[in-house]
Amino acid sequence: MDIPKDTILMLSGVSCVGKTTTAYEIVKNYSEFRRVSEYDLIRTVVRTAYEHLADEAYINKNELMDKYNALFESLTCNNFEITRLQSEQLLPYVKEIILRQQRRQIPTILEGTGIIPNIYFPNNRPLPWLTKHVVFINLYLSDEKEHISRRKSRSEERGYHESASKTQAIISQCRAEKNQLLHMQAIELQKMYKNIFSIDISDCTPTQAATRIMERVFDYFKKYV
């Protein structure tokens, strides 16, 4: 089944849930998709900030910090409120990318911990520019042991040299708040909007997670669009 050329997949979820590897699997198996990561978004923010400063011909450090304060916080090790602020501050740039890719008719995956689906549905209403071809998929891990295992694997791959106790503390913190909140918020929104999902991928390899996501996406477009 073909999908609309202006399809946008928004992958959310806490750190180490598998967003990036899953996005790569989708791109590998569905070559029409392009991927935009949270770090690509941050680069857009920085570039825009410098353009703003150049236009104004001055540098007001306090103004710049006030505008982008949350983005200077850690992207992964913070509480839900800071993550929410990050999502709000990224929103104009996410919008720019979504509308640009839709104009160009390029199916695109946006993924990152700073994507919070309910930011795009204030008061349970979609933002005016949001179309039904933008599909939100929250990746959820119900199994804490699996979450810890994924964190350990990433730490080893990237040479973090993270202690077992630190890994446990980081995962416990994000699971106690963000992992569950993102899941519950997505479930509540799904009762009103069919283009929002929260999928438990605890028992999935990245390939299986990508397959499960695309099955949901194809089913959504077949039934509701």
pLDDT tens digits for 93-125?
899 999 999 999 999 999 988 899 999 999 999
Domains of the chain: 8-214 (3.40.50.300)
d(CA 189, CA 211): 23
d(CA 103, CA 75): 29
Q: What per-residue confidence (pLDDT) applies to 162?
A: 74
Q: What per-residue confidence (pLDDT) applies to 205?
A: 94
Percent of the chain with pLDDT over 70: 80
What is residue 176's DSSP assignment? I
pLDDT tens digits for 78-94?
678 888 888 888 898 89
Q: Give yes or no for residue 225 having a pLDDT over 80.
A: yes
pLDDT tens digits for 37-91?
877 777 666 666 656 555 555 556 566 556 555 555 545 556 788 888 888 888 9
Residue of higher predicted confidence among 14 and 176: 14
Structure tokens at 28: 């590998």
Residue of higher predicted confidence among 133 and 154: 133
Other Cβ atoms within 10 Å of 143 Cβ, number: 13
Q: What per-residue confidence (pLDDT) applies to 79?
A: 76
pLDDT tens digits for 140-197?
998 888 887 888 887 777 677 778 787 777 677 666 678 889 999 999 999 999 999 9
What is residue 135's DSSP assignment? E
